[in-house]
Amino acid sequence: MDYKRFKYELFKAAQKQGFKEFELYYTSGGSLRAGVFKGELDTYDSNTSCGAGFRGKINGKMGYAYTEILDGRSVDMLVTRSKENAEITDEGDEEFIYMEKDTYKTINAYNPKLESIKPTDVIGKAMDMEKRAFECDSRVDNVRACSVSLYKGSTRISNSYGLDMEYTTNGVYGYAIPVVRSGEDVRTAVAYRVGRRYELIDPNAIADEAVERAISYLGAGSVDSGSYKAVICNEAAADMLDVYSGIFSAEKVQKGLSLLKGKLGEKVASGIVTIVDNPLMENGMCGGPFDCEGVATGTKEVVTCGVLNTYLYNLKTAHKDDVGSTGNAARGSYSSRVGTAPSNFYIKPGDIGYEELLGYMDDGLLITELEGLHSGANAVSGDFSLAAKGFLVKSGKMSSPVEQITIAGNIFELLKSVTKVGNDIKFGFPSPGGCFGSPSILIDKLSVAGR
Amino acid sequence: MHDREMFMSIIDEALSSGGDFAEIFLEDRENNSINMVNDKLENAVSGRDQGAGIRVIDGLKSIYVYTNDTSKEGLAECAKKAAGAVGKVRIQQSSELVEVNVQNSHEVISAPSSVSNKKKVEVVRKAYARAKGYSGEIIQVSVGYVDSDQRIWIMNSEGYMAHDRRIRTRLYIQSVAGSGSENQTGFEGPGMSKGFEMFEEIDAEKHAEEASRTAVTMLNAKTCPAGRMPVVINNGFGGVIFHEACGHSLEATSVAKGNSVFSGKLGKKIASECVTAYDNGTIPNAWGSINIDDEGFKSCNNILIENGILKNFMIDRLNGKRMGMKPTGNSRRQSYRYAPTSRMTNTYIASGQSGREEIINSVNEGLYAKKMGGGSVNPATGEFNFAVAEGYLIRNGSIDKPVRGATLIGKGSDILMKIDMVGSEVKLGQGMCGSISGSVPTNVGQPILRVSEMTVGGR
């Protein structure tokens, strides 16, 4: 059945089961991806999919269930299972179904022009990108991945207080991972673009950038263990912010899983660090006018000049701290419960160019890639020990490439040791957990394990 | 709804514009999860995933289309889309579908749907209480229970039709020890291809205590010194080193396109002589086991490395075609949302000759990685990194003080050569492995072993 009919049947059944308040969260969308290998279309994926998450309150406790088919059987399953699930949970911090009537901003997160792009065009672009990668340098041995994707997604929330909101977004992304070889020395690197304008996926620019990066790592070696001044480049810094964004979650704070607990109003970073969450950002790939509980979103500085202003709240955690929701309620998908997540989350850029930043550092390390972030970075303790790649910098100029090193430290100390912030902000790929951006940053002391 | 005639017409439609192979993967899966944190049974989520994916292979090209609409019309629409993407003329007819009976090697006694929520909750509460009560330094515990009941149907243009059911249960315990200014964590995650009867075999409370013990030990540990040193890696989840550093590079996904350091190395020595390794999806009721893979091939016990010599890869249909080699029953996917590709099942280094004491006693100054955390690898270069969840220094042949924050980095091809002592008792550890066909349950494993020299990142 269609959404309207399904919602009607579901809400009727929910009332009958004794739910006092309830909500339907529905996402639908589709994507198209073309990947090429050695001049041929290699993978072509296309899909349309949807899912519906129901949550309802009985005796002050919320129960959850979800389905991927909107039919009569699902109506029964959703209300029965969510009731059972509500019954087994303990009374704790109360979850809410949003009853206010907010005014929502309109933001432009949908580009209708992407609708008219033909699959053959997407394939062509991926082909061009791979071709260019092979042509632009004789040391290109292979192209491990090369693809272009289009996607579109809608989110709709309806609740028993009459809320019914929908928001649609789309985007395009492309990336190439060439493998370059010089004798036995093999290197790879990735370059990508993600956005809402199709022209952004410039096959030549992406291929050139990826190949240039991979080649720059040829001949890389380790460095002596020790303490270094370091520039962490924009992409790597954004990855760090991504991994540690959970420390700003009110839920983590309230559960004692963030060391930012009790630090509101205190200095948690260097005075030149400002961290912003902007769900309404122009060209932002995450966010939207409302969060997944239906609360209107807004832009805020989470950290202003090093001082912690706020955590990221949903209705439940805000109620517990006796503040308003910051509009950061989020669900990983319709199958997950409501938690919190940032939207477009970034370190505010300064006014120093990248080269200038290296100049300020004079001698030190430029860190361009971090690996093992999901295992080597602990969001609870803040400790990290990560495999890294980059370059030695001498007198402000990039010299030899560096690999087989790890950088180690603690995020809370790292945030305090930022001495310069660049102007070259770049955002990574969007995910349900947010879209993270950062400029390159200069750190006065970084512990490096190498030789 | 699972009508043979209908499936045949869908497969036929998928091949109408060319392509030499077409396949339907249909899935209906129930999931339950229960989570306890902060002394409260915080939430429980149940749900049903249902959908189908249609794949057409045209030469070495793979076209994959999926949908939630598994009605005849929905599937026909998918088949049409897939055919449209091939865009040539028909070269292949589909064959009559003949249902193959799948032999179940992973008996389940109590399917999740037959067990009351109350019983599941009881396990969670008991584990929680034990983890929390372990020490006053434990400031937070999170216990998760998950079960899944996946029914799959696979039909293809070679006339193959089969149905299978996979039931899995897992418990997660994360303990956090804190001193006010610092936090350290400990984790245990036992899981099996079993129903609720798993808890007759697995002592949930013992695992809970173990998670807390690690957290408290690490809270009171000094940071690990950095440098190059011999490393002894414990059995069980320690096998993640082999999984990340070598296993991924032995998947046809990276081998077939020449992206792996092991491409073209069959029959050659890639590891030290004391290394023999298997990928075995047939271990009864093991977390990573399957009866048939997601293309319908029977799961096997594959020897990957024998006494240091590379014997075989893990191969799926499409990459097998590229490599001119037979599939090995390793093609897997998270769900109908992913085209299948070669993945690991239960992958482990086999037992060797050395005793545990003998291995530890052999190290003058080094690191003992008692428990490993996760890691990742670049298959093209073999570079890996992973975190040590619980580490100790070894001094003068015996285990000394605990150390935290250690990371092991290196290259898969190097480390395989540097394994110079292998213990005798293999243990497996459970994990979820993420790759291009999504997240799939896998076991890693090994006996305790020694790597003569590795780069240890610390502080």
Residue A278 belongs to a domain: yes
- B62: which chain A residues are within 8 Å (Cβ-Cβ)? 42-44
Within this chain, do residues A284 and A334 fall inside the same structural domain, yes or no?
yes
Whole-structure pTM value: 0.88
pLDDT score, position A372: 80
Identity of the residue in B41, B66, B81 whose CB atom sits nearest the CB atom of A89 = B41
Nearest Cβ partner of A387 from B31, B81, B407? B407
Alpha-carbon distance of A169 to A431, in angstroms, equals 13
The structural domain count of chain B equals 1
Domain boundary residue, one of A162, A182, A216:
A216
What is the extent of the structural domain holding A425?
Answer: 226-449
Chain B touched by A374 (CB under 8 Å): yes
The reply to whether A313 falls in a domain is yes
Range of the domain at B363: 227-457
CB pairs under 8 A between A and B: 231
* pLDDT reported for residue A377: 87
**Mean pLDDT computed over B283-292:** 98
A216, A242, A268: which is the final residue of a domain? A216
pLDDT band at B277 (very low <50, low <70, confident <90, very high): very high
CATH number (domain holding residue A66): 3.30.2290.10
Q: Does residue A332 belong to any structural domain of this protein?
A: yes
Arithmetic mean of pLDDT over chain A = 95
Residues B376, A62: C-beta atoms closer than 8 Å? no
Name the residue in chain A with its Cα closest to that of B117.
A88
Residue in B45, B49, B60 closest to A85 by CB: B45
Res A375 pLDDT > 80: no
Q: Would B383 be classed as within a structural domain?
A: yes
How large a percentage of chain B has pLDDT more than 70? Answer: 99
Q: Are residues A212 and A341 in the same domain?
A: no
Residues A316 and A176 in one domain: no
Local confidence band at B308 (pLDDT 50, 70, 90 cut-offs): very high
Q: Do A186 and B381 touch (CB under 8 A)?
A: yes
CB proximity A121 to B under 8 Å: no
Task: Say how many domains are in chain A.
Answer: 2
Percent of chain A with pLDDT over 70: 100
- Mark whether A211 and A245 lie in a shared domain: no
- Which chain A residue's Cα is nearest to B411? A404
Is residue A221 assigned to a domain?
A: no
Q: Tell me if B23 is assigned to some domain.
A: no
Q: Is residue B277 part of a domain?
A: yes
Distance from CA of B228 to the nearest CA of A (A): 7
Indicate whether B2 pLDDT > 60. no
Shared domain for A41 and A180, answered yes or no, is yes
Residue B139: list chain A partners with CB under 8 A: 256
Do both A348 and A204 map to the same domain?
no
Mean predicted confidence (pLDDT) in B351-370? 97
pLDDT given for residue B264 in this prediction: 92
pLDDT confidence of residue B256: 92
For residue A160, name the pLDDT band (cuts at 50, 70, 90).
Answer: very high
pLDDT in tens, B105-126: 999 999 999 999 999 999 999 9
Q: Are residues A65 and A173 in the same domain?
A: yes
pLDDT band (50, 70, 90) for residue B1: very low
Q: Are residues A101 and A233 in the same domain?
A: no
Contact list in B for residue A93 (CB cut-off 8 A) is: 40
Q: What is the mean pLDDT of residues B336-358?
A: 97
ipTM: 0.84
A338 close to B (CB below 8 A): no
Domain stop point among A194, A216, A238 = A216
B366 assigned to some structural domain: yes
Say if the Cβ atoms of A82 and B46 lie within 8 Å.
yes
When CB atoms are compared, the residue of A46, A62, A259 closest to B183 is: A259
Taking an 8 Å cut-off on Cβ atoms, the answer to whether B60 and A84 are in contact is: no
Same domain for A239 and A292? yes
Same-domain check for residues A275 and A178? no
In a domain, B8, yes or no: no
CB contact A218 to B (< 8 Å)? no
Q: Is residue B267, in this structure, part of any structural domain at all? A: yes
User: Is B68–A50 a contact, with Cβ atoms under 8 angstroms apart?
Assistant: yes
- Give a yes or no: residue B242 inside a domain: yes
| H/E element, B9 | helix B4-14
Is A142 an 8 Å CB contact of chain B? yes
Among B138, B149, B150, B409, which would you mutate to test the A interface (most chain A Cβ atoms within 10 Å of its Cβ)?
A: B409
**Would an 8 Å CB–CB cutoff place A147 in contact with chain B?**
no
Assess if residue B404 is contained within a domain.
yes
The CA distance from B44 to the nearest CA of chain A, in Å, is 5
- Is residue A206 located within the same domain as residue A242? no
